[in-house]
Amino acid sequence: MVTEAGLRGRKKERTRQSLHDAALRLFLERGFDRVTVAEIAEEAEAAVTTLFKYFPGGKVALVFSHEEDRAAALADAVRNRSADTDPLTAIEDFIGTRLPFDPHMDAASPLLRLIFETPELRAYARQKWTDCEDALMAVLVEQCGYPDDAPLRALARLILQSPDIVARHSTPRAALAMIFANLRRGWQLDT
Amino acid sequence: MVTEAGLRGRKKERTRQSLHDAALRLFLERGFDRVTVAEIAEEAEAAVTTLFKYFPGGKVALVFSHEEDRAAALADAVRNRSADTDPLTAIEDFIGTRLPFDPHMDAASPLLRLIFETPELRAYARQKWTDCEDALMAVLVEQCGYPDDAPLRALARLILQSPDIVARHSTPRAALAMIFANLRRGWQLDT
DNA sequence: CTACGTATTTGCAACCACTACATATTCGTC
DNA sequence: GACGAATATGTAGTGGTTGCAAATACGTAG
């Protein structure tokens, strides 16, 4: 999403950023539930109602400022994969790029710690993945021959759990690979 | 859990039941988020504070009155399985007994419809399963030889998603069997 | 540069889930 | 019947979230 042109657009972006920054600063300083939305608004020099206009997802959404249409991106990644790549590998790669980068550096990242240790935030992050279920299943049905839809829906569901599963792991990518190896063996999609 | 003896115990049970009944009646009549806890308390002739004393889980918990220590029950089911049953089958059977019974009868059940169509309630039901993750992984580690813990944690996670996955299915048990067949092939535990 | 229409912001009041606390009531028991 | 412990109640919050009408700021046409 590109920043709107004009003074208005710039101010909008600045306000959004200001709210996001204020929220992160206060959350990291005091912990998620020791900060009120009123305080965030004040710190960002905005009204509470403005805050909710920018982040309809509420307090939790303030942490995740850069939203993407992940479902569409995931579906694209599978459809436009290179010829020598099977669907599951394309999905694995896609998820891999959305994972915390360096295991040691990121494990120490205060923001990741905050998200990991705050149930509400973790649930939100997880749901952003599971919201892709319908899209993922659609693309699986389209790309893999399979007698029934049910196993593919189950597979989609299980795949979308993997980011949250490996997030607590010390080597997320390795854990992801292990899960995908087992899923591949279990479902045998190939085609 | 057995009802406590004496007048006191009987009244406690009656109050709890009264709150549960009132909540279900109102929820089914108007929908979950069109009912306030104040209304439920009034309908049950109790104070709001009393309501929260009985259901610390809040509004959602009012729907699920009979709580069990599911984690312990699941672990027991695996440990005390008959000699010719493997761990995964024991788990599958356990989950099977906690699923909605008759597919046609239950699909029409207003209560199940309510739970299914109310995100908050579905999330609560799902979490009661996923809360068993640690216990299930512990028992898997104990019962199955496996080089690393990580795949078993992933397996536990995926297994505990299955109840929610198959809940929307027209033939939950068949769907469950299919998922477990794939998981079995994928993880190859067999001991 | 000015005035007007529209997008955005603001403060206010309200709703509701949930909690802390002090007070009252009820049950079991002596 | 009286006393102590468990339970219930009402009140008064806190805090997230929303609706609304008034105020403000931006873009633009004249």
The model's pLDDT over B116-159, given as tens digits with 9 standing for 90+, comes to 999 999 999 999 999 999 999 999 999 887 767 888 999 999 99
User: pLDDT of A43-63, one tens digit each?
Assistant: 999 999 999 999 999 999 999
Choice between A190 and A179, residue whose per-residue pLDDT is larger: A179
Distance B59 CA to C20 C1' (A): 19
Give pLDDT, residue A68. Answer: 84
CA angle A84, A87, A90 (to 5 degrees): 80
Task: Give pLDDT, residue A99.
Answer: 86
User: Which domains are delineated in chain B?
Assistant: 6-63 (1.10.10.60), 70-187 (no CATH)
Among the residue ranges A117-121, A169-173, B119-123, B176-180, the one predicted with the least confidence is A169-173
Grade residue B53 by pLDDT with cuts at 50, 70 and 90.
Answer: very high
pLDDT of residue B27: 98
- Other CB atoms within 10 Å distance of the CB of residue A168: 12
The predicted pLDDT at position B12 comes to 93
Residue A1 has pLDDT above 60, yes or no: no
* HEC assignment per residue over chain A: CCCCCHHHHHHHHHHHHHHHHHHHHHHHHHCHHHCCHHHHHHHCCCCHHHHHHHCCCCHHHHHCCCCCCHHHHHHHHHHCCCCCCCHHHHHHHHHHHCCCCCHHHHHCCHHHHHHHHCHHHHHHHHHHHHCCHHHHHHHHHHHCCCCCHHHHHHHHHHHHHHHHHHHCCCCHHHHHHHHHHHHHHHHCCCC
The reported pLDDT for the residue numbered A158 is 96
Q: Which residues contact A47 (CB under 8 A, 6 or more apart)?
A: A41
Which of the four pLDDT bands, split at 50, 70 and 90, describes residue A72? very high
pLDDT in tens, B140-150: 999 887 767 88
A33 CA – D4 C1', rounded, Å: 39
Q: For strand C, which nucleotides have at least one atom less than 7 Å from a protein CB? A: 7-13, 15-21, 26-29
SS (H, E, C) B48-103: HHHHHHHCCCCCHHHHCCCCCCHHHHHHHHHHCCCCCCCHHHHHHHHHHHCCCCCH
Q: What is the pLDDT of residue A107?
A: 64
pTM of the model: 0.90
- The spacing between the Cα labelled CA in B7 and the C1' in C27, in angstroms, equals 7
**Partner-chain residue, chosen from B150, B165, B178, that has the shortest CB–CB distance to A157:** B165
Give which of B179, B184, B185 to mutate to test A binding, by max A Cβ within 10 Å.
B179
Among B93, B90, B98, smallest CA distance to B143 is for B90
Contact between B139 and B72 under an 8 Å Cβ cutoff? The reply is no
Q: What is the C-alpha separation between B160 and A161, in angstroms, rounded?
A: 11
Q: Do B185 and A184 touch (CB under 8 A)?
A: no
- Asked if residue B54 has pLDDT above 90, the reply is yes
- The region of weakest confidence among A29-33, B23-27, B127-131, B170-174 is B170-174
Contact B154 A175 (CB under 8 A): yes
pLDDT of residue A4: 77
Determine the pLDDT at residue A146: 75
Residue B49 CA, chain-centre distance (Å), reads 26
* Structure tokens given for A88: 């599951």
Res B112 pLDDT > 60: yes
- A to B CB pairs, distance under 8 Å: 56
Write out pLDDT tens, residues A98-146. Answer: 987 655 666 678 999 999 999 999 999 999 999 999 999 999 999 887 7
